[in-house]
């Protein structure tokens, strides 16, 4: 694993990776066949094969990128703030003091619900704060939400 797995750092659930894998596995072949057929019918068999190969390769690349992105997510609850680290191409680290939390949002899209996952997003009064943790197991998301709410209330500071 990455350096993020070291002490104190938490990572999203392994199911997040399975979810991404399923998404690509479901969409990839369909798109490959569709692209192959469309190009094959309109511009000849070899063009169709070439198009299918290109799309299949693109799906592979997406999978590789998603794998790296998945492994880059990490968060850590420190004494006074939450720190979230993410990103492959652009590495980002966000530090949000508990006292600055305006509200915590827990969302789960249809895919996340199917995999019993949820995304926790932290909102401060600054529009640029972007601490978001996807793919948390539901219990962990609820625990984090409640803990952040308690800590936020205890340390709340005015604007």
Partner 1 sequence: MTEDFGAGWHRLHPLSPLIQGGGLLSGLLGIFALSLVTAEGYEAYVYQLVAAGAIMVAGLVRWLVTRWKLDSATLRIETGLLRRDSRQLPMARIQAVDMVRPLLARVFGLASLQIRLAGAGKGDDRLAYLTLGEAARLRAVLLAGHHGLDPAAPEPAERPVITVPAGRVIGATLLRAAPRFVALAVIAAVAARAAPALFPASESTLAVIALGLVTSTCLQVTARYGFTVATSHDGIRIRRGLLSTMAETIPLRRVQAVRLVQPLLWRPFGWCRLVVHVAGVAGRDSGPKAGGLTKALLPVGSMSEAQHLIRLVFGPDIPELAKPPKRARVKAPLSYHFLAAGHNKVMAVTITGRVCKKTVYMRLEKLQSVRLSQGPAQRRLSLASVHGDAAGRQAHAAFADREADQARELLDELATLGRSARSTESAGG
Residues that bind partner 1 (CB under 8 A): 80-81, 87, 89-97, 99-100, 102, 123-131, 157-159
Q: Going by DSSP bridges, is the β-strand pair 74-77/81-86 parallel, antiparallel, or unpaired? A: antiparallel
What token pair was written down for 28? 């990839």
In the complex, least distance from residue 122 CB atom to partner 1, rounded to whole angstroms: 8
User: Which residue's CB is nearer to partner 1, number 49 or number 126?
Assistant: 126
User: Which residue's CB is nearer to partner 1, number 55 or number 144?
Assistant: 144
Whether the CB-CB separation of 106 and 142 falls below 8 Å is answered with: yes
Q: Name every residue whose Cβ is closer than 8 Å to that of residue 50 and which is 6 or more positions away in sequence.
A: 39
In the complex, least distance from residue 148 CB atom to partner 1, rounded to whole angstroms: 13
In the complex, least distance from residue 147 CB atom to partner 1, rounded to whole angstroms: 18
What token pair was written down for 78? 């420190």
In the complex, least distance from residue 137 CB atom to partner 1, rounded to whole angstroms: 25
User: Which residue's CB is nearer to partner 1, number 72 or number 149?
Assistant: 72
Q: Name every residue whose Cβ is closer than 8 Å to that of residue 59 and which is 6 or more positions away in sequence.
A: 24, 27, 28, 31, 32
């Amino acid at each position: 694993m990455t350096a993020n797995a070291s002490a104190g750092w938490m990572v999203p659930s392994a199911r997040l990776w399975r979810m991404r894998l399923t998404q690509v596995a479901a969409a990839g072949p369909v798109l490959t066949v569709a692209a192959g057929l469309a190009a094959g019918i309109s511009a000849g068999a070899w063009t169709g094969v070439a198009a299918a190969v290109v799309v299949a390769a693109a799906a592979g690349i997406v999978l590789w990128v998603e794998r790296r992105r998945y492994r880059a997510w990490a968060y850590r609850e420190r004494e006074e703030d939450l720190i979230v680290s993410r990103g492959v191409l652009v590495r980002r680290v966000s530090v949000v003091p508990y006292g600055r939390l305006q509200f915590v949002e827990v969302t789960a899209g249809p895919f996340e619900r199917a995999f019993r996952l949820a995304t926790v997003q932290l909102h401060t009064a600054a529009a640029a704060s972007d601490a978001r943790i996807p793919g948390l197991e539901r219990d962990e998301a609820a625990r984090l939400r409640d803990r952040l709410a308690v800590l936020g209330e205890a340390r709340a500071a005015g604007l």
